[in-house]
Chain A
Amino acid sequence: MNAALVENLTHGSYILAAGLFIFSLRWLSRPQTARRGVLAGVAGMGLAVFGTLLHPEIANYLWIVVAAAIGTAIGIPLSRVPLTAVPQRTALSHAFGGLAAGLVGTAKYMLWTGDASITPFKSGVIAIEVILGFLTFTGSLMAAGKLQEALPTRPITFRGQNYVNFALLGVAALCGIGLVFDPMQWPLFAVIVVLSLVFGVMLILPIGGADMPTVISILNSYAGLSAVAMGFVLDNMLLVTAGALDGSSGLILSLIMCRAMNRSFTNVLFGAFGQVAVAQAAGEQKAVKSATAQDVCDLLENATRVVVVPGYGMAVAQAQHRVRDVYDQLSKRGIDVKFAIHPVAGRMPGHMNVLLAEADIPYEALVEMDDINRDLPQTDVVLVVGANDVVNPAARHDKSSPIFGMPIIDADKAKLCVAIKRSMNPGFAGVDNELYSADNTLMLFGDAKAMLGEIAKALTGSGLGH
């Protein structure tokens, strides 16, 4: 093939790939077309790889094939993890994206300084790429470790932490500026690599489990931005486009997550949430009313409208399928059952929806917070399963509460609220929940899975009796 034709084929396939990526995200907007989105994405990626393999510069395909085989071998098991582990998988994926960007930047810097073809502009962009790439790499590994609970999930803080972090990033940025003035100064480059790797770890240390949905989203946008920087380094528009799509998606998700917790970006990254809360937890114990599974069964049976508020505790107890049993029993009786999904329920954006979808709950029954809040005053029974902070009314009125201002699901406004809980221990954020001592709240103490199983059994039994 002649060179001009190859060049055109490559560019053509890149443009098609970029278009397919956009359609891929577009089709993801609704569950009905979403799977088509995956196909478009696969086609786009296939074209992009095809266009790249045509490059005449490729001297040897062997290492490409070996590396791609290794990647596939790691990728397949990673795609089969349980759905509770999807947040960790996602964090690992951000780490791989960051690693690829960092390594490509490093390789290019070495090659271009080797033949002295590096320009001040290129070295500046490489510095940005490498900083973003490597900090995403170690930061995401830390996040994955915390999500997997291989690392302590509590925020780890020390005095002057923010100054240390800013100093690390500042020195890395100064070295980057130094490289613009003298691109051949490789020690500066080495310092950038080391500092970015350290900065990624330091950035995630003070972040607690409750902030993981936001942090994962922020890391997502960093991974995207590092791909954009790579595109600038290599003059590759496809990298810029795909990276920008990834980056803007991460940014939107982070904004949604921040809004859902009423926090700002800086507050999430430098606020060490969960620290303040510990001191607060030691309040006086208020009287609570407790109920049995049979009581709850009777209450549910006589309701016309039931809303379930699931939290991550439900997934920890593996109670999704019991929830589904209760849902089936109630639906069979013509009772309207909906699920109230808080944006930060679960450990990553949208996590709760996936967990419930896996338990075969139809997606029409999954309702967003703002929509369900309108219906709650007319709801007979709200069943809180493993959710805590997202139903704490203190967020509305208690200015001293660490969760003050966070939008919540108004479970307390329903006619009756039943909360299933192991004990009265405060939740993830370590805050007391006044919902449990409210007049219209009944507590059902016990393991969520066991309790829901009992309710489902009682419902089945009484169904037969009719």
Chain B
Amino acid sequence: MDVAHVGHAATAAGTSLWTMLLVFMLSTFVGFQVVQNVSRLLHTPLMSLTNAISGIAIVASVLIAGEELSTTSTILGGIAVAASMTNIVSGFLITDRMLKMFKEREPKK
């Protein structure tokens, strides 16, 4: 079949487009499964935790800011690093702060 070649031709660094799509499909599926099991009680912490996880954009931003290929790209990358870092720091901290508040009933006297 030719599809695989199309995929290879399409992306530069070697990972096949089809592999990427497979990863996307599987991760979405796993995401659906785990998130569906999250208690409604915790939907606000869930959203702030995924906010923090979306700070993963830092892995891309760090490279652009650090490569210093052009002034503009370094500035754009730097802003992106700051934005992602904000999400990481505030996301994890506030999730933990909220989760600490969820307490079980004290045992009956």
Q: Which residues of A contact B34 (CB under 8 A)?
A: 22, 25-26, 29, 245
A224 touches B89 (CB 8 A): no
CB < 8 Å neighbour of A45 from B47, B88, B103: B88
CB < 8 Å neighbour of B104 from A244, A341, A362: A362
Of the listed stretches A66-74, A160-168, A382-390, name the one at the interface; the rest are far from the partner chain.
A66-74
CB < 8 Å neighbour of B59 from A28, A63, A238: A238
Q: Which residues of B contact A30 (CB under 8 A)?
A: 39
Q: Which residues of A contact B45 (CB under 8 A)?
A: 28, 34, 350, 354
Find residues 5-47 in chain A having any chain B CB closer than 8 Å to their own CB.
14, 17-18, 21-22, 24-26, 28-31, 34-35, 37-38, 41-42, 44-45
B61 touches A104 (CB 8 A): yes
B82 touches A64 (CB 8 A): no
B 6-48 to A, binary, CB cutoff 8 A, 1 in contact else 0: 0000111111010010011001101110111111111111111
Give me 4 other A-B pairs in contact (C-beta within 8 A), A34-B45, A99-B83 excluded: A41-B49, A79-B90, A100-B87, A360-B101
Q: State the Cβ distance, B9 to closest chain A Cβ, in Å.
A: 8
Q: Which residues of B contact A249 (CB under 8 A)?
A: 31, 35, 46-47, 50
Majority-rule SS of A interface residues: helix
Which 10 A-B pairs rank lowest in CB-CB distance, beginning with the nearest?
Answer: A71-B85, A350-B43, A75-B89, A248-B31, A58-B66, A79-B93, A244-B27, A67-B81, A349-B43, A362-B105
Does any Cβ of B come within 8 Å of A428's Cβ? no
Of the listed stretches A89-97, A171-179, A398-406, name the one at the interface; the rest are far from the partner chain.
A89-97
A 94-136 to B, binary, CB cutoff 8 A, 1 in contact else 0: 1011011101101110110010010101100000000000000
B40 touches A350 (CB 8 A): yes
| Tally of contacts, chain A with chain B, CB under 8 A | 373
Q: State the Cβ distance, B58 to closest chain A Cβ, in Å.
A: 6
Complex CA distance for A304 and B17, rounded to whole angstroms: 63
CB-CB under 8 A for A93 and B24, given A41-B53, A100-B84: no
Complex CA distance for A235 and B80, rounded to whole angstroms: 18
Q: Which residues of B contact A215 (CB under 8 A)?
A: none
Chain A residues proximal to chain B, CB less than 8 Å:
14, 17-18, 21-22, 24-26, 28-31, 34-35, 37-38, 41-42, 44-45, 48-49, 51-53, 55, 57-61, 63-64, 66-68, 70-72, 74-76, 78-81, 83, 86, 89-90, 93-94, 96-97, 99-101, 103-104, 106-108, 110-111, 114, 117, 119, 121-122, 216-217, 220, 223-224, 227-228, 230-232, 234-253, 256, 341, 343, 348-351, 353-354, 357-358, 360, 362-366, 368
